[in-house]
Amino acid sequence: MKRDLPKHVYRKGTAIYWQRRGEPTVRMENQELTPAFWAEYALRLKGPVRAPSKRTFNGLIDSYRRSERFTSLAPRTRKDYERVLSVIEAKWGALDPVKAQRKHFIALRDANADAARFANYVVQVSRILMEHAIDIGMVSENPAKGIKQVKGETIDRRPWPADLVKAYRDAAEGRALLVFELCLGTGQRIGDVLKMRWGDLENGGIDVRQNKTGKTLWVPLTKTLRVTLEAADRRSVFILTNERATGPWSYRGAAQAVRKVREKIGAEAYDIHALRYTAASELCSLGLTDEEIASVTGQSMAMVAHYTAHVRQKVRALKAQERRL
């Protein structure tokens, strides 16, 4: 029977592994034959990661891209890292990493300080890149280590208050309402919500594969979400589709639509990402354990505890004060 996998790639049980003579057997990060899988495969075909013959940032970045440190990242994370790597290539590509000093990385951070989130990504990726340079013997110290991140505009990532949730529902319609209910009802990241398809709905729930963690979940629909979905038009295979119904709604489009409603109801401090906090907090307030909450959100126990800490404190405080009465 013809193999469905390319050369050097084999199935062991239910998982897919890379196996080539003279190299260690490793589990492929991407377990489905998607574009991300073929990108990972192409990098592994180039051979084990070695220090480049010419010591430049271009050579260092090429080596890092072929390393397991990079290929094991989730596709979305790799995409974010690539933005920083492209900046470093354009600015320092032909330079010797040995000559890079702490002040150079600080200057690179500050050059992007108008976008705090990206500036902090510059710090993070630079540190990781120079760690790889140490691993392959290109440098002996990491000049990007310990550089402080910049402070930007802060968004309140506490859960949405109940009155603002109601206000949003009253003010929103169409996709702006649907994306809100999907984020709140499933407790998933906005990136995963935008990829949800009508075909993922099954037996009163929805099948989810988290892009960041690779986890697969089945999340039962809440009553409110079920009603919203029943009222939505099915114009595409994607539940949240673009205007032409040719693909998923973009993150930018979804964020802008939600922002308009937030501004209308005075909820500027509570963004679309905070709905994940809201879902976890609602479940916590209903008396569910961290493990039960994680079965819906797909978060680690530590992250669930972080998201629900304020709710748990209130519950404990109420119990404590009741004994004083």
Structural Rg of the chain based on CA atoms: 23
Amino acid at 71: T
Closest CA to 183 of 129, 151, 122, 225: 225
Structure tokens at 99: 């000559």
What are the structural domains of the chain?
162-322 (1.10.443.10)
Residues 6+ apart with CB under 8 A from 46: 66
d(C-alpha 130, C-alpha 97), whole Å: 8
> Taking a C-beta distance cutoff of 8 angstroms, is the pair 207, 247 a contact?
no
Rounded average pLDDT over 54-70: 88
Look-up of token digits 């050579």: 59
> Within the chain, what is the greatest distance between any pair of CA atoms?
76
Share of the chain above pLDDT 70, in %: 94
138-189 pLDDT, tens per residue? 999 999 999 998 876 555 568 899 999 999 999 999 999 999 999 999 999 9
Look-up of token digits 């909450």: 293
Torsion 118-40-44-23 (CA) sign: positive
Residues 6+ apart with CB under 8 A from 218: 202, 205, 206, 207, 208
**pLDDT score, position 155:** 55
Closest CA to 297 of 311, 280, 310: 280
Amino acid at 188: Q
217 DSSP assignment: E
d(C-alpha 78, C-alpha 72), whole Å: 9
299-311 pLDDT, tens per residue? 888 888 888 888 8
d(C-alpha 105, C-alpha 155), whole Å: 27
284-297 pLDDT, tens per residue? 999 899 999 999 99
185-233 pLDDT, tens per residue? 999 999 999 999 999 999 999 999 998 888 999 999 999 999 999 999 9
| Length of the chain, in residues | 325
d(C-alpha 64, C-alpha 83), whole Å: 14
Checking if the pLDDT of 81 tops 80, the result is yes
Rounded average pLDDT over 56-83: 87
**pLDDT score, position 1:** 40
Q: What is the DSSP string of 2-39?
A: --SS-TTEEEETTEEEE--TTS--EE-S--SSSHHHHH
